[in-house]
A and B are shown apart, each in its own frame.
Chain A
Amino acid sequence: QQPVQSPQAVILREGEDAVINCSSSKALYSVHWYRQKHGEAPVFLMILLKGGEQKGHEKISASFNEKKQQSSLYLTASQLSYSGTYFCGAGDTDKLIFGTGTRLQVFP
């Protein structure tokens, strides 16, 4: 079953903050975040592993609550380049189960 993301859509002005949540009905061993710009392929942002290890490629932070089976992605001081659709992925042994996505639009 796919993880559930909330909200489904967010509209921001440049400089504002946003939080995107990801919740799973199954135990989460790792959570992965991706961003997809319109007409492009998804791009890896960050992985959060059970036990607290976090690896990322951009200045975006995230949290992982193993007990609640939830993860949140924090986008602070948003920039126009943050616009796109964000997907969380629940790690399941050697594959990912993606959430339904959150569309983020940042306006000047």
Chain B
Amino acid sequence: DAGITQSPRHKVTETGTPVTLRCHQTENHRYMYWYRQDPGHGLRLIHYSYGVKDTDKGEVSDGYSVSRSKTEDFLLTLESATSSQTSVYFCAIPLAGGHYNEQFFGPGTRLTVL
């Protein structure tokens, strides 16, 4: 199986505070993706990366920024968290040997913004 971890797994924070979520992969893949999952909306792409320092916006990028300084790490930052950003966040990478849209998901981070 692909090696992908997310940290933290759970976080509770207050409105207005900055939050950074980390995705770490051991597969040396170019592509990495950040999604959020909310009831009734399914999975929505926030940002993705196609290489070190190469990132692009997804469907719901407002309020989020990302950075990728190393192949193995993709960071998602909420500069000033809001209650609407309470969600489950998933990171994903392509499956080894597969189409880049055959994605393997990390375990997720449950974020609660009070």
A residues engaging B (CB < 8 A)? 2, 30, 32, 41-44, 47, 49, 55, 87, 89, 91, 94-101
Verify A32–B42 contact, CB threshold 8 A. no
B63 at the interface (CB under 8 A from A): no
Cβ-closest chain A residue relative to B45: A95
B68 within 8 A of A: no
Instruction: Tell whether A87 pairs with B48 under 8 Å between CB atoms, given A41-B106, A94-B100.
Output: no
**A interface SS class:** strand
B99 touches A96 (CB 8 A): no
8 pairs of A and B residues whose beta carbons are closest in the complex: A41-B105, A98-B43, A100-B42, A101-B42, A98-B42, A91-B101, A96-B101, A44-B102
Q: Within the assembled complex, what's the spacing in Å between the Cα atoms of A30 and B100?
A: 12
Which residues in B have some Cβ–Cβ distance to A below 8 Å? 31, 33, 35, 40-45, 48, 50, 58-59, 90, 95, 98-108
Are A87 and B101 in contact (CB-based, < 8 A)?
A: no
Cα–Cα distance between A44 and B93 once the two chains are bound (Å): 12
Alpha-carbon gap, A43 to B95, bound state (A) = 11
Check if B42 sits within 8 Å of A99, measured CB to CB.
yes
Cβ-defined contact, A97 with B105, below 8 A: no
Shortest CB distance A72–B (Å): 18
Are B40 and A100 in contact, with the CB atoms below 8 A?
yes
Q: Which residue of A lies closest to B103 (CB)?
A: A44
* B103 and A96 contacting across the interface, CB-CB below 8 Å: yes
Q: Which residues of B contact A101 (CB under 8 A)?
A: 42
When chains A and B are docked, how far (Å) is the Cα of A51 from the Cα of B53?
34
